[in-house]
Amino acid sequence: MKFCKSIFLIIFLSTNIDASSINKEYKIEFLIFKYTETNSQENFETLLTEPSTNSVINYDNESKNSRFSYFSNISTYFENITSKNKTLISNTYPKIFFRDDDEINILKKIEKNILNDKNKILLDSKSWIQTIPEYDDSKYLSYKDNKNYGFYIKFYQKRFMHIELIGFLDEKNNRYNKFINIEKRVFNEDIYFFDHPYFGMLISINEI
């Protein structure tokens, strides 16, 4: 048993992953709004390329109360590795999971300001809780609202935390030309604003 744990720790440390981060959960809050008017004369001819289906988790169907190979603590993880049905460490490492959440807290004041701003229309607000895995285990959380708007959001850890965000408006023949597609390093307890001539998105991330 001790020998197995020692081997695991050597491999684990060699991947440059902080053991304390395995069980960390983060609350994500998300707002999306569109501008009532735009002065942009830009023609958006580039079309959005959506992520492949095997890299996506649907917000409605799979995110609520679902867990993906998630272990509650390191002890459970070790037990899984040393059990009779043990698998490779790469297959037993805790994967991402999502849990739906109904409250907007950090972005509540901003949400209220958008609702009171005649130049903006709030399209939606959402919040959820998730783990943030390594890049190879990460998936996009996807949502589409009756073809009016949608998003793909993926958080992952390399040396630091990152986000890949795709947000879009107005479907035409299953194609989107008004979209934001960005990858960015992010930090715990920060708020991020992503802007487009037609719409904007805000995201907060907070460890819980």
pLDDT along the chain (208 residues), means of 10: 48 44 82 91 86 86 40 40 43 64 94 97 94 90 87 93 95 85 96 96 96
d(CA 154, CA 22): 17
pLDDT of residue 1: 53
d(CA 152, CA 51): 8
Helix ranges, 87-203 (H): 89-92, 108-115
Whether the model clears a pTM of 0.85, i.e. scores above it, the answer is no
Among 196, 204, 193, smallest CA distance to 48 is for: 196
pLDDT of residue 100: 84
Q: What are 138's two structure tokens? A: 């990460």
d(CA 189, CA 31): 16
pLDDT of residue 82: 47
pLDDT of residue 95: 62
CA quadruple 5, 15, 91, 132: dihedral positive or negative? positive
Domain ranges (residues) in the chain? 24-67+97-207
pLDDT of residue 108: 97
Among 101, 94, 31, 33, smallest CA distance to 67 is for: 94
Q: What are 87's two structure tokens? A: 């698998």
